[in-house]
Amino acid sequence: MERLNVAAPPEGEEPRLPAWDRLPDIDLYMDQVLLLVDRCLRGFPGYEERGLTASMVNNYVKQGVLPPPVKKRYGRDHLACLLMICVLKPALPISAIKAVTERQLASRPLERVYSDFRGIYGETAEAVAAGKSRNEADGGGAEEIWRAALRAAAEQALAVRLYRERFEPDGGKTEGAAAGGGKK
C-alpha cells in the first residue's frame, strides 16, 4: 500500500478525498482515526471549525450510521464511512446520510460506494471551481461571495428536499420533518 498523502492541498487547489486503496488497511484506535480523518479533511470548507470528536464517532455508531468498532479498533471501512459523513454533514442531517448510504450499500460494496462518492465529489468541486473562474472574470468581489453562498444554500435545500421526497414515507410533508444538516 502506498503511503497516504495527508498534506493540505496547495493554495488555490480544491481538496481531494484519498482513494480507497490509499486508506490504511490496518486497524486503528480512536485517537489515530481522529488524527487521520482530520488530516484527510484539512482544507475542506468548514471542516476545521467542526472537526471530528470521539463523542461524535460514538454517536454515529449508536445511530447506526457507522458500524461498531471491532475490539475498539477501526478499519478502512470505518475511515471511508467517516470521511463521507464528515463531507456530507454540513449539507444533510445524519438521518439522511444514513438512509442514502444504506441504499447505496444495499446494491454495492463499500469500496465501490466510497470510490463513486469520491469521484462525484471531485467532479462537483471541479464544476464549482470552473464557475468561480467565470465569476472572477465578471468582476468578483462581494457579489461573487453572495452568489457562491446562495448557490450552496440552494443546493443544500435541494438535497434535503430530494431526501424527503425519496426517503421519508410521506414525502417530507409531516410537520417538524428534519431540517438541513450542520447540527452535531
| β-sheet bridge partners, residue 73 | 70
Q: Which of 15-19, 105-109, 121-125, 173-177 has the lowest mean pLDDT?
A: 173-177
CA–CA distance, 128 with 172 (Å, rounded to integer) = 29
Q: Is the pTM of this model over 0.85?
A: no
| β-sheet bridge partners, residue 70 | 73
Query: pLDDT tens digits, residue range 32-82?
Result: 999 999 999 988 877 877 889 999 999 999 999 999 999 999 999 999 999
Nearest alpha carbon to residue 87 among 97, 77, 76, 100? 97
Query: pLDDT tens digits, residue range 143-158?
Result: 777 777 778 878 888 8
| β-sheet bridge partners, residue 87 | none
Q: Please, where are the H alpha helices in the chain? A: 30-40, 47-50, 54-62, 76-88, 94-107, 110-137, 142-167
pLDDT at 172 over 80: no
Nearest alpha carbon to residue 42 among 74, 77, 78, 5? 5
Residue 101, C-alpha cell as written in the block:
448510504
